Amino acid sequence: MSCLPAPATFRLLDALVGWDVDSAEGISGLDLSGGLQLSFAGAGQTVPLDDVSAWIAPAVLARGCAPCEWLLVTPAVTTVSPQSRLLRKDLCAPCFTEAEPGAVGVLRGAVALAAAGRNIAVADPAQNAVLLFADHGRRLVTRVAFARPGPIAYAPWQEWLVVDTAQARIARLDLAGFERGPLEAELPGPVNRMAVDKDERIWLAVDEAPLDVRQQVSLWFAARTDAAFARATLDELRRAFAPNGIAVTNAKGFCLAQTQAGCGPCFSWYGRELTTSLTAPEAGAQYVAQGQLMTLAIDSGITRCRWHRVRWQGSIPAGTTVSIALSAHDQPTPAAQGVAEGAWSAFAPGRPHPGDWQRVDNQRDFLIRQPEGRYLFLRIRMTGDGRHTPRIARMQIDFPRQTSLDQLPLVFRDSPEAEDFSERFLALFDSFLDDVDQQIARMPALLDVDGVPDGVLPWLGSFLDIAMDPAWDAARRRRLLQAAPKLYRMRGTVDGMRAVIRLVFDVEPVIREAANERAWGALGAIALSGGTRLFGPAQWRFRLDRSRLGRAPLRSVGQVELDPFSSVAYRFDVQVPVKLDVTMRQRVQQLIDAQKPAHTVARLLDSRGQFLLDGVVSVGVDTTLAPFEASVLGSGGNIRLARATVLSGARASDADSPHPGA
């Protein structure tokens, strides 16, 4: 009910406000944001493993960070493949190809992998090790000794989770491979696969009947701080994860929902394209066939209220139905007159008489055609085929009846029949206008970067002239949109360039402005006798008509006095602390060109085994950071006098000199 001082005009029913339940049979989701649905029939039971693949991928298969990128480790079978291989496919390679060259010949008997951006972790119990790769598997970073590693998952708190089958626990490794200790929760059984959802809960599929025709598993989940795993249902799993793009899995291979031209949608577990598509096995019953919800009396607060309209949001999959029945009454607790009827005889009949109910099937928006009454009773009935369930996320009941007929002359209310027809006819247009008004009222919410769906982010970026790279995840896109106002104010500055590279590529660049390091001296408080050089030995010009060369027909460009200011002006270097491949270099260069001032010239440098001191000095791997040795003159010394050497400074006193009188 509305909490405003004005009279209430509608009533909401959802998980937040409440459903005012009188009885609920075969219905669940009363306290879930997804809304009402048929109860799950498999609570506490096992489910076929292939039914889980669309939400938790098999342990040997993982999504990469790039669009349509998939990673696969093949089994090691002597007659087919003598050792495991790490395969990869993406937009550029629609078929699975070997990740060159880092993983070639490295794996022996891999059983699982996981990906975090460009980093990949592979469990190889044949080597008793977990192997960490970088650059999409092209470069082996390190091997972590690990006795009998099993399924792996990447956790959003920057850790690899590895099932330790030898000690029946889940070990934690940081992204560099250093162990951080095991999780407290004990494993409920042999883990077939593992994943972490958006709420940072760890999900397990545990083998229950591995010898069955369709391997059966049980589902479990736990937070990383929980002491034990809790049993879960397939329905809870579907609410925790978005579909991952796997359409079908079975013993022969798997099929992907999104494919590219040049390769089919189905592949064997060895990464080879299958000429025929795989057929998904018939799924077992997951939901009950019928469910009913009866509400208590919904009070309008208006005597002899004319109830107006019902609108609800949800879904009705094929093979399911939603039937809504309404009955108005002047009393909140009328005498129970309901009787059992047909297929619903086992359910509660409700208080109003069966003849008083107005029933509407599979309609999301309809008028209430009931006699006047202060209270309204609501009955929701759902049916399904066992594999799918309808859902009602929220329902709105409007009252009292108000239509555009109130704005028309009384002639349109000449008779009850004319009034009823006019109200129902105009309600069609009122419904459309109400939807338009709601869209306008919700328009500001579309500008909330934190609240809009992921698909709206590119549209928001178009307002700010930000082109979204398909490789960016939703979190990175939101960070860029949030920082856009500040970045525009800083655009064209060193701080702005550094901030945008940090946001897009997660690296801290070093920006070197060549103009700040010119070899021109400066005159001020420093005396010329102290050794200050005004110009470099190879950077000077002469004035015409001031020397014999002035007799030659030479033409001067620019002013000599501005040479100290124009030398290497408008040039800068950007160095990133990673080695860039061709694609990555192109992306970074495009970002720099988009952010730098148009009159400047930028040069992109990457790391090649060096690091920078203050953006100027390049220090190699074999460099020792230590004080300079004492200068010694002579044939056995370490310095010699040359044109670039200047001896200056205060003269040491005889008392301080090691050789008095020298």
Give the list of residues 6+ apart from residue 451 with CB closer than 8 angstroms, or none.
Answer: 445
CATH among 2.30.30.230, 2.120.10.30, 3.30.450.20, 3.30.70.260 for 47-268:
2.120.10.30
Q: Give tens-digit pLDDT for 374-400.
A: 999 999 999 998 878 899 999 999 898
Supply the pLDDT for residue 415: 78
Strand ranges (E), 198-346: 201-209, 216-223, 230-232, 246-249, 253-256, 266-268, 290-295, 298-299, 309-315, 321-329
Supply the pLDDT for residue 229: 94
Question: Which among 218, 213, 214, 217 has a CA at the least distance from the CA of 231?
Answer: 218
Integer Cα distance of 614 and 299 in angstroms:
72
The yes-or-no verdict on residue 301 having pLDDT over 80 is: yes
What is the average pLDDT across 295-309? 91
The yes-or-no verdict on residue 537 having pLDDT over 70 is: no
Integer Cα distance of 509 and 591 in angstroms:
13
Supply the pLDDT for residue 649: 55
Q: Give tens-digit pLDDT for 67-116.
A: 778 999 998 876 555 788 999 888 777 888 887 666 778 899 999 999 99
pLDDT tier at 652 (50, 70, 90 boundaries)? very low
Q: Which residues of 208-243 are buried (b: 16+ CB within 10 A; e: fewer)?
A: beeeeebbbbbbbbbebeeeebeebbbbbbbbbbee
Supply the pLDDT for residue 21: 93
Supply the pLDDT for residue 411: 74
pLDDT tier at 528 (50, 70, 90 boundaries)? very low
Q: Which one has a higher pLDDT value, 261 or 27?
A: 27
Give the list of residues 6+ apart from residue 351 with CB closer than 8 angstroms, or none.
Answer: 333, 334, 335, 336, 337, 338, 377
- List where CATH 2.120.10.30 sits in the chain: 47-268
Supply the pLDDT for residue 2: 45
Integer Cα distance of 112 and 153 in angstroms:
9
Residue-by-residue DSSP string for 52-97: GTTTS--TTEEE-SSTT-EEEE---BTTTBSS--EEEE-SS-SS-E
Bridge-based pairing state of the strands 159-164 and 169-174: antiparallel
Identify the DSSP state of 400. S
Lowest average pLDDT, out of 169-178, 214-223, 525-534, goes to 525-534
- Top CATH class of 10-39+287-338+354-440 equals mainly beta
**This model's pTM is above 0.75:** no
* Long-range Cβ contacts of 587-595 (<8 Å, 24+ apart): 587/469, 588/501, 588/505, 591/500, 591/501, 591/504, 591/505, 592/497, 592/501, 595/491, 595/492, 595/496, 595/497, 595/500
Please, what is the average pLDDT of the chain?
81
pLDDT tier at 117 (50, 70, 90 boundaries)? confident
Residue-by-residue DSSP string for 511-522: EEEGGGG-S---
Residue 11 has which token pair?
A: 């009533």
The yes-or-no verdict on residue 634 having pLDDT over 70 is: no
- List where CATH 2.60.120 sits in the chain: 10-39+287-338+354-440
Q: Give tens-digit pLDDT for 562-615.
A: 666 777 788 899 988 888 888 888 889 999 998 999 989 999 988 754 545 554
